[in-house]
Amino acid sequence: MEAVIDVAGLSKSFGGRRVVDDVAIRVERGRICGFLGPNGSGKTTTIRMLCGLLKPDEGQGTCLGYDIIREAPAIKRRVGYMTQRFSLYEDLSIRENLDFMARVHEVRDRRRVVSDALERLKLGERSQQLAGQLSGGWKQRLALAACLMHDPQLLLLDEPTAGVDPKARREFWEEIHALAARGVTILVSTHYMDEAERCHELAYIAYGKLLIAGTAREVIAHSQLVTWTATGEDLFPLAAELKSLPGVAMVVPFGNTLHVSGVDEAALEAALRPYRERPGVTWRRAEPSLEDVFIRMMDHAPDNFEA
């Protein structure tokens, strides 16, 4: 299939410190790619290089068929970019903000396009409300409408649902999947593992380096993690004991359940065998979650800010 994003060797340094190091990403048309990584891992810097806002120190590739270095202005005009922070005018109404963005992009039949956007994202009844008076979910909806004004075929969404309630997040993702079904390609950075599972494919980046890319199933399989769950009451003392055992790579609490993981199946089972007869605790073999894999990768990624 046609690649909308196809870059390799992307690197960028600030103040002598490399914050993006030899990153390669390929995303095909109509796909949703989840971009995962801890704060400060280089996700935003990578996104800005893809859309032409930053020039990479090294690397090459194309975005929407345009060279990311030589044809950056053409990319800027054709990409929809939703930033981490709400960046529209809070003293303008919803309609005024959308009309302004349509003017910036020189959209033809501007008034019809604005009206269609208001209707599609269910903003019509609030069209006269000032943007600064909106809740987080409505601001998110307005920001998405604004970056769709010029009908882009690529959306770069930088942590778009941070601080938004679950209902608003679900509605947002329904719209994202509807856009993808129409052929729009989407790269979205997120910290939410339930959102990562909604993506067609994932890319994990940590401290500037791309650790792995693939579908959720491929990422989990590549981790080689083996996971058991322990369910019961007052598991904190048990978690402290398990963390020190050979064969146990990590212990992560989820309410009344512990996820106990390792990379050597035999060693993990041997370590857990004495604990599986404890009264009040139910043990079950489980598939590692994306969060298990994410935490494991973060724990073993070298920090580029360490001296």
The edge-to-edge listing of strands for the beta sheet with 66-67 is: 17-28, 3-14, 58-63, 66-67
Per-residue pLDDT of the chain (307 residues; tens, 9 = 90+): 789 999 999 999 999 899 999 999 999 999 999 999 888 889 999 999 999 999 999 999 999 999 999 999 999 999 999 988 888 999 999 999 999 999 999 999 999 999 999 998 999 999 999 999 999 889 999 999 999 999 999 999 998 888 788 888 898 999 999 999 999 999 999 888 889 999 999 999 988 999 999 999 999 999 899 999 999 988 999 999 999 999 999 998 988 999 999 999 999 999 999 999 888 999 999 999 898 898 888 777 666 555 4
Residue where a domain terminates, one of 216, 236, 263: 216
pTM of the model: 0.88
**Could you tell me if 205 and 275 lie in one domain?**
no
Is residue 293 one of the residues assigned to a domain? no
Q: Are residues 207 and 241 in the same domain?
A: no
What sign has the CA pseudo-torsion 122, 124, 125, 131? Answer: positive
Whose CA is closest to 11, among 48, 37, 46, 63? 46
Question: What residue numbers bound the domain in which 269 lies?
Answer: 226-287
Q: Are residues 174 and 25 in the same domain?
A: yes
Nearest by Cα to 78 from 28, 139, 138, 148 = 148
Q: Tell me: do 19 and 162 sit in the same domain.
A: yes
Number of domains in the chain: 2
Alpha carbon distance 129, 38 (integer Å):
35
Joined tokens for residue 188: 């979205």
Six-digit token string for 47 = 């996104």
